[in-house]
Chain A
């Protein structure tokens, strides 16, 4: 609780200055009155802090059913990173979240600069920011970086935590280790030359070794039991270097953070004093909580509630997100999607604007690729995706299909799921749209986790039920996740998510070139070439980008919604 003493003190000074030169007795009486009044004022302010010294609080209803993990490596996808990663922790590299218009790019975080060794491109040198401390007061340095790499890489390390490995190692698949050079220099190594490493490192959050050790020392049992107990305790009493400090944690109910007044980046010290995060997985419950004033901000309002929310004076923020809602085609032998004309025709037969304005109340952006114009990886796309059913039908006729000779395709999808938006209505919309272009679409609806698991099993797996496409949405913040895992032939199941077994030598060559090009601009140029080639080949049915809608009270001001899964809570103010 912060008490507003500052405005009171000048009030007394002004009052006492004015009294100078007046009658002495009168002074005493007035002084006594002033002091009495001041005391009363202070007493009132102490008794009724809610009135006089209201703390600025931002209450957010998340879509998560539980508080994302707080021990440094959050679960629950990018919502976890958004709320319990980037708030309490920093990484060596960070996302620039300061613009609504430009693509969000990687910027220095706890590392001020980095370079790859010219003689051995599997070795990187990172220079660390000096003068940064964890919330517990311990210093951030090279030892802390090595410790945080070991927590997910070194199975022999005492603080190795298997539960953090999945969400970390998978996001930096080539990182193998870290070595301290000096207090503020570390060397990171990768299993193969990988220019994506600085982007991957945005996912490795720096937790405090000193705080963990404190919890470890307080635990009992053997080393393994103490380590497990230390991580459990750390999750309730966490310590990072981020702009927000943990102040209260009730599992499954709420997480309270207070601003870090000593944050190393003075420009990002939060304006709001307290951030309260509440899990509300049910969209109608979130909307009711917002409309009743129980929270100030909700994530992902239901599209059919948007009009009501806006009519009551609340604001909807949205922006194109690094996300794609696609059909990922099977390219195995016998798949109808092996025909380029068919792939292009499907992409031309969907009225994406109609889907946006009619079905989703404006809460989507039409997709014409994995990334859109203005993004550094967009490239020279020659196949322009839009709504042109005549051209779509022409292409289908060229491949031998017509109203009398229709093409049957089977599509996997889910009824719900993380990032899936409104999968059933959207797929039914596509089914109707493609029917006008000689397609007969059979939708095969799987439970979300089943569909998600099948993503790694591939089109040949019996679990795919002979389907010709799957419908799992993906994030495009990182080149590996946006492009490489789908387009490189060696990423076919069970290695990664090349579900449809795409095997295109041009893609493989471009992936290799991008990975081994260490100048950021040249690397982006190589990625742009890869992306353009994939769109020109109509590798996916590109349908929509999510726009990360969030609704908030009018009192929440200075919101900058970047083209990102993340958002910076620091500039936000609460206007009562």
Chain B
């Protein structure tokens, strides 16, 4: 296991480097000017040249990349061009908010997905299966930004039960004053993973139930509850892998959901950085999210190996 872990950690180095390089090239090669947020289009050519030099954008791209990546290795992702604040603190604040939202959405989405998937798989081809499958299809088909707006219209504008936007004032606390802001974006965000997990688990359960060992268990006289426990255990590794990927997507932040709800997470941050051409912020956010994704996948792989000893690693 140690060798496997070390190997996987080593693999992350070229992956993160490649992500950083691709991200750097994409943001620099796309049209637009990185100084657009601090330099109006009516600024003089001399002023533009002066600022370009002061921000280092007059240097060759490989030099800019080298400076950025070496600083990043030292934990310095630079300062945002638009607001001057350190990128690292900006990203970590946003990651905290996205983590909160993603975890809430994951708990909701995975719990419902597991429930609907198990029920549908167990009662295959019955009306229960059809209902659960319909819910799953609706979950993966409905555009979640549209669903978010509809929920806002119903629960904020019409019923006035929940706030429409934001994350509440001050630092997050687990009180109604803050939790009420979490409900609508979390429900909206949970819909897609719920649908995907439902469909995955349904297929898994159906497949496992058709295996010979299930008949053997029943022949040995095990009750349906015990059989069910074996089915769940056999479905778990694949289900966890899917949930891990989904959690990774959620942690990446949903630009659309966070924008619709003005939720100050990584999606909202990326959206702002893209429109402001704030290159340090854009690069820093993408790098941190890529790291998240890589380490999350690693954690999922380790978890799978722990649950299912048949999976040999290393």
Which residue numbers of A lie inside 8 Å of B, CB to CB?
Answer: 61, 65-66, 69, 71, 75, 77, 161-163, 165-167, 169-171, 173, 228, 231-232, 235, 250-254, 278-282, 284-286, 288-289, 291-294, 447-450, 452-453, 455-456, 463, 472, 480-481, 485, 494-497
* Closest B residue, CB atoms, query A496: B42
A285 near B39: Cβ-Cβ < 8 Å: no
A449 near B165: Cβ-Cβ < 8 Å: no
What are the residues of chain A within 8 A of B101 when measuring CB–CB?
none
A452 near B41: Cβ-Cβ < 8 Å: yes
User: Residue B84 at the A interface, CB < 8 A?
Assistant: yes
* Closest B residue, CB atoms, query A286: B165
Interface residues of B in 4-47 (CB under 8 A from A): 31-33, 35-45, 47
B90 near A449: Cβ-Cβ < 8 Å: no
* C-alpha gap A69/B85 in the complex (Å): 10
What are the residues of chain B within 8 A of A463 when measuring CB–CB?
31
What are the residues of chain A within 8 A of B40 when measuring CB–CB?
77, 166-167, 170-171
A494 near B275: Cβ-Cβ < 8 Å: no
B183 → chain A closest CB, angstroms = 14
* C-alpha gap A450/B275 in the complex (Å): 11
Q: A163-B81, A282-B262, A497-B41 are in contact. List 10 more A-B contacts (CB 8 A).
A: A65-B275, A75-B82, A170-B42, A228-B79, A251-B90, A252-B90, A253-B167, A278-B262, A280-B165, A449-B277
User: Residue B268 at the A interface, CB < 8 A?
Assistant: yes
10 cross-chain pairs, A with B, having the tightest CB-CB distances, nearest first:
A170-B43, A449-B32, A166-B39, A288-B164, A292-B156, A166-B38, A65-B272, A450-B31, A162-B54, A494-B45
* C-alpha gap A73/B152 in the complex (Å): 36
Partner of B41, one of A161, A286, A455: A455
Report if A288-B153 is in contact (Cβ < 8 Å); known contacts: A162-B55, A252-B269, A294-B164.
yes
What are the residues of chain A within 8 A of B156 when measuring CB–CB?
288-289, 291-292, 294
What are the residues of chain B within 8 A of A161 when measuring CB–CB?
84
Report if A165-B51 is in contact (Cβ < 8 Å); known contacts: A66-B83, A452-B36, A496-B42.
yes
A9 → chain B closest CB, angstroms = 32
B44 near A173: Cβ-Cβ < 8 Å: yes
A65 near B31: Cβ-Cβ < 8 Å: no
* C-alpha gap A393/B262 in the complex (Å): 49
B140 → chain A closest CB, angstroms = 24
Report if A449-B31 is in contact (Cβ < 8 Å); known contacts: A282-B259, A292-B157, A481-B42.
yes
What are the residues of chain A within 8 A of B275 when measuring CB–CB?
65, 448-449
A203 → chain B closest CB, angstroms = 11
What are the residues of chain A within 8 A of B152 when measuring CB–CB?
284-285, 288, 292
Partner of B165, one of A65, A69, A294: A294
* C-alpha gap A284/B262 in the complex (Å): 11
B38 near A167: Cβ-Cβ < 8 Å: yes
What are the residues of chain B within 8 A of A285 when measuring CB–CB?
152, 164-165, 259-262
What are the residues of chain A within 8 A of B149 when measuring CB–CB?
284, 288
What are the residues of chain B within 8 A of A251 when measuring CB–CB?
83, 85, 90, 93
A447 near B47: Cβ-Cβ < 8 Å: no
Partner of B39, one of A170, A253, A294: A170
Which residue numbers of B lie inside 8 Å of A, CB to CB?
Answer: 31-33, 35-45, 47-48, 50-51, 54-55, 79, 81-86, 90, 93-94, 149, 152-153, 156-157, 160, 163-167, 169-170, 259-262, 264, 268-269, 271-272, 275-277
What are the residues of chain A within 8 A of B169 when measuring CB–CB?
250, 253-254
Most B-side CB within 10 Å, residue of A279, A285, A452: A285
* 24 A-B contacts (beta carbon < 8 Å): A65-B272, A69-B84, A71-B84, A166-B51, A235-B85, A251-B90, A252-B90, A253-B166, A253-B167, A280-B165, A282-B260, A285-B259, A285-B262, A289-B163, A289-B165, A291-B157, A291-B164, A292-B152, A292-B157, A453-B36, A453-B41, A463-B31, A496-B42, A497-B41
* Closest A residue, CB atoms, query B181: A294
Partner of A166, one of B35, B94, B163, B272: B35
B57 → chain A closest CB, angstroms = 12
What are the residues of chain B within 8 A of A450 when measuring CB–CB?
31-32
What are the residues of chain A within 8 A of B82 when measuring CB–CB?
66, 75
* Closest B residue, CB atoms, query A282: B259
B38 near A252: Cβ-Cβ < 8 Å: no
* C-alpha gap A513/B111 in the complex (Å): 74
* C-alpha gap A39/B61 in the complex (Å): 71
B261 near A453: Cβ-Cβ < 8 Å: no
* C-alpha gap A449/B84 in the complex (Å): 20
What are the residues of chain B within 8 A of A170 when measuring CB–CB?
39-40, 42-44, 47
* Closest A residue, CB atoms, query B54: A162
* C-alpha gap A280/B170 in the complex (Å): 17
B33 → chain A closest CB, angstroms = 5
* C-alpha gap A280/B167 in the complex (Å): 12
* Closest B residue, CB atoms, query A68: B83
* C-alpha gap A279/B160 in the complex (Å): 21
Report if A69-B83 is in contact (Cβ < 8 Å); known contacts: A449-B31, A449-B32.
yes
A279 near B262: Cβ-Cβ < 8 Å: yes
* C-alpha gap A279/B85 in the complex (Å): 17
Most A-side CB within 10 Å, residue of B42, B156, B166, B276: B42
What are the residues of chain B within 8 A of A449 when measuring CB–CB?
31-33, 36, 275, 277
A464 → chain B closest CB, angstroms = 12
A278 near B166: Cβ-Cβ < 8 Å: yes
* C-alpha gap A278/B164 in the complex (Å): 13
